[in-house]
Structure 1
């Protein structure tokens, strides 16, 4: 080694030693900031969470829209390397803690810091706790920030969609799906989305992640659960026996979302279906098909399968059950009522009204009457005797205090439906639709042909907090009962609430009877059940786990 090179070697050695000393000192002082890939920033069991992400609910946006953003982030929290919490204290629908029990701290992979733990527990924010800086999501260094806020922002939603795609979507599979849907879009005879395609295999993993995330959140408080149970009883679905078909009539839900969906008609066409967004006849026929499936044990296994009505008396049409057609399915009670009337015997109204029940979940104007009119066209199937296939009802879940009822009438107008007090356990006599008039029948849900529409979100701004919470509880009760308890649910996957119904219903209800969370289960019987589909069906657009459906393709 030359005399000239020796100092250079010594300088390099001294520089390395000095660098190590500086880094060590920074680490000891806690000033070293790890990258997003550093193991020191990972969530570790028993340790405090180094990072927390909070979705700040936007006051002005809808229930399904805002809850959906929160759910998507929570479903990929492992990929985000941080637990995801919700701050809904300023949301127009009310703080989520009014409706759902506090999150279990054991649900989280690390200990929540004091400055954010209250968002999970629902307790008041502790005083004297330092409030750390909250870095907006999708801005510089958000991936290493200790506190990150997600807002409704186009750039943030786009980044979240990309992260969802990277965490749970096989783009090779979705490329094949895109090609398949292209050919479907050319086939103009393919009007609606068939059973078995509401959740497509290419998106099973994403769907499963959101189902599992929702199960940790959708835990109603005792007060909320009591309202859910009351609603179930009103539509003849007792919570303790709703899966049993003996002694009760079938209950079918029809969720219709029109509103501004005309602007999203391209999503329907992109999914390979050709129905118009406001084709109520397609919705009604889908409800008929859903009813038919309930009588076929090959499609709907016990205990939900309903017993076939007895052979009708001479001179009336015999019932058939092919799931490829729309036969005049009727309940045993209605069958007996028809026979009595044919023999000149008196038929009590309560006995005659045991048609299958069709509940309309919609805020659209005049939808109830239009669906009822379509149902009346089926009268000819009974020789002009029965007056339709279904009892058609809407909004059987209004629960107001006296003051809330007064305020509701002042803001929204007259309530042409039965109103319950929150403490009233008895369903009592309720109104149901019969042609163009409203009649009272014991143990039948509330509705009236003059009830042309429900409340809409834009009207919530004029309501007090108490009334807004009452309306939010109504919506949550309906989503829970209709998705988890009803015998069949037909809705729009092109709407936020329609996709939420699929998630709330879960794997078996949305993918197929007998389906499990085991994505590797490819036994023939499992595949066959998935092709047949489950209780819940999207009529137009299949489930997608992103803000925009196009995002699943990259």
Structure 2
């Protein structure tokens, strides 16, 4: 591959290095210095930059030592009200021309306290075009003429439910598929009533090498997947799994993957470690290397293998991925550390996914389980993790995310970026308040070029009859695990940051909740989901494939755990310490909950009963609601006719 020729010009203000900020809990490396410019005679500017970074570090340390309640300072900021700059995909520069404008600096001291200048507003990419068609194609095709294929001997059916979140349902889907593969069953999915539409709107079809029976989608003909049904002899011809028998696959997972003496010892150590952090209250962020515990490595590997094989996005989603990659600059060559002068190409890109909305109860449960003290909605830990990732992407004593895979640094994923290459923080969120909060609350995000992925092209997305039904029913959540519901009313009141969302006439403009999503028309739901799958692909895939260089997620969110499965085991665990053999953490990291392979985090230790939650009734999409109304009307008609025949027979 052709090597880029380093520029012979002196380093200008457009190539000042952005230095990593050390973690306060990693005191062994506090003395680390970022590399100095190799050809910069302007020592005064260099000294000023060091002072600026030192002040930024002090501010970060002050934030970490303060109570982590996620609240903003009481001092009013004089920042402008505009929260973002909207650029078309063709106008976004590949790198910032004036890096110094992104660095923190202090105004003259006032009589009270120093104040920070208005931060650079996040760049919000212009929305992409909405889809105009809905696919109703099956999620699988035959690998050959079905007349030449044998009948399927055994099938495992997964039925998609019409009300829960995408990542929540997809993880159950992947778990069932991985179980089918391990048990040597042909896996079939029925996605006809899914609230997100058919899988073919987002993914390429799978291939089948056998022909299922004509009534394959009838769940009444199958036995629920459980430890006993999975081990029966002879094997059952048909097994099934869905959210309706949620805990059964948890029981099977514990028995199949987590029951060996070695794994039980790892589980006990994990439980004791989480309990110790909970008692001591010293864990505000999950450490690097803790995202995927060793006890879950095998089951994670099986689930991730299936997800990675089948996460092949459809054409419409692929076009969106490529458009955002070009806009952010991910398609440009990397500006590597061995290039002198101003260099060429892009800097490191770290994606951050923030999910708030209706996920507070799940976060509170997992945070309590794992001893996380950070408040739900506090963004500081996300920026802290982004800085931790950045220092591993430039020359530093910290380990690279991967080992060297190529002698050519242009294609070697472990090659470090130049410290002069401006980094980008790719923000992925459906919460409208996050860009302004990132600017106003987390001031140390300023060294980054913050770019938010494009949303869906604005339209009046009112759900009509569904929206009216949502108001009448009081907005049943349908997005909270039923086993958490009993304690949800009292949980987390001391660990939540109240998010005030602006009113809007379009359902998702004021933030994402499952019931507001389900109230949208089907085409709008598909449009939003294609954007979501696009962003998740960018976040989870590595830079050499199609995505970012590192990613920060919440493991308490199903989205975060799905991103881990898409990324793969090496991307989550990373290299290992040469002395201890423990994982050092990969390019995708959770800030709160570690991965767990069950529906509930506590289900890895013991059985969790899935209880009915009448206060948290699901809000289904309008087309599904109409089907239910029609089915109820038909059933009532049959009962009336039956009563009429009974009276006539007397």
> Do the aligned residues in 2 keep the contact of 1:243 with 1:303 (CA within 8 Å)?
no
**C-alpha deviation, 1:223, in angstroms:** 3.2
User: What is the aligned counterpart of 2:153 among 24, 47, 50?
Assistant: 50
> Do the aligned residues in 1 keep the contact of 2:573 with 2:585 (CA within 8 Å)?
yes
Aligned to 1:113: 212
Task: Give the structure with higher Rg (CA).
Answer: 1
Give 1:221-260 correspondences, 5 Å limit.
Answer: 221-238=314-331, 247-260=345-358
Cα distance, 1:116–1:535 mapped onto 2, change above 3 Å:
farther
Cα distance, 1:278–1:191 mapped onto 2, change above 3 Å:
same
1:467 aligns with 2:556: no
- Could you tell me how far apart the structure 1 residues matched to 2:197 and 2:523 are? 9
Aligned to 2:255: 166
- Could you tell me how far apart the structure 2 residues matched to 1:233 and 1:507 are? 28
Residue deviations 1:344-402, cap 9 Å, x none?
xxxxxxxxxxx422222223351221112234357xxxxxxxxx2122232x23355xx
**C-alpha deviation, 1:49, in angstroms:** 3.1
Cα distance, 1:100–1:509 mapped onto 2, change above 3 Å:
same
Give 1:434-449 correspondences, 5 Å limit.
Answer: none
Secondary structure, counterpart of 1:104 in structure 2: strand
1:362 aligns with 2:419: no
Aligned to 2:166: 63
Aligned to 1:41: none
Aligned to 1:503: 565
Residue deviations 1:95-117, cap 9 Å, x none?
112221111335xxxx3424378
- Could you tell me how far apart the structure 2 residues matched to 1:228 and 1:87 are? 27
User: What is the aligned counterpart of 2:555 among 490, 493, 509?
Assistant: 493
Cα distance, 1:406–1:141 mapped onto 2, change above 3 Å:
same
Cα distance, 1:217–1:303 mapped onto 2, change above 3 Å:
closer
Residue deviations 1:108-130, cap 9 Å, x none?
xxx3424378x8xxxxxxxxxxx
> Do the aligned residues in 1 keep the contact of 2:285 with 2:592 (CA within 8 Å)?
yes
Secondary structure, counterpart of 1:216 in structure 2: helix
**C-alpha deviation, 1:187, in angstroms:** 2.6
**C-alpha deviation, 1:160, in angstroms:** 0.6
- Could you tell me how far apart the structure 1 residues matched to 2:219 and 2:512 are? 40
**C-alpha deviation, 1:466, in angstroms:** 2.2
Aligned to 2:241: 150
**C-alpha deviation, 1:406, in angstroms:** 3.1
> Do the aligned residues in 2 keep the contact of 1:60 with 1:92 (CA within 8 Å)?
yes
- Could you tell me how far apart the structure 2 residues matched to 1:62 and 1:479 are? 14
Cα distance, 1:525–1:410 mapped onto 2, change above 3 Å:
same
- Stretch deviating more after TM superposition (258-267 or 537-546): 258-267
User: What is the aligned counterpart of 2:539 among 482, 485, 492?
Assistant: 482
1:72 aligns with 2:130: no
Secondary structure, counterpart of 1:149 in structure 2: strand
- Could you tell me how far apart the structure 2 residues matched to 1:244 and 1:496 are? 34
1:201 aligns with 2:294: yes
> Do the aligned residues in 1 keep the contact of 2:154 with 2:236 (CA within 8 Å)?
yes
Counting matched residue pairs gives 386
**C-alpha deviation, 1:286, in angstroms:** 2.0
- Stretch deviating more after TM superposition (290-299 or 250-259): 290-299
Aligned to 1:348: none
- Could you tell me how far apart the structure 1 residues matched to 2:281 and 2:229 are? 48
Unaligned residue ranges in structure 1 (runs of 5+): 1-45, 120-130, 310-330, 333-354, 379-387, 412-450, 516-523
Q: TM-score, normalised by structure 2?
A: 0.54
**C-alpha deviation, 1:216, in angstroms:** 2.6
Secondary structure, counterpart of 2:158 in structure 1: strand
> Do the aligned residues in 1 keep the contact of 2:463 with 2:521 (CA within 8 Å)?
no
Aligned to 1:94: 197
Give 1:305-320 correspondences, 5 Å limit.
Answer: 305-309=415-419
Secondary structure, counterpart of 1:277 in structure 2: coil
User: What is the aligned counterpart of 1:546 among 583, 593, 598?
Assistant: 598
**C-alpha deviation, 1:80, in angstroms:** 4.1
**C-alpha deviation, 1:147, in angstroms:** 3.3
- Could you tell me how far apart the structure 2 residues matched to 1:453 and 1:235 are? 25
Cα distance, 1:494–1:116 mapped onto 2, change above 3 Å:
farther
1:288 aligns with 2:387: yes
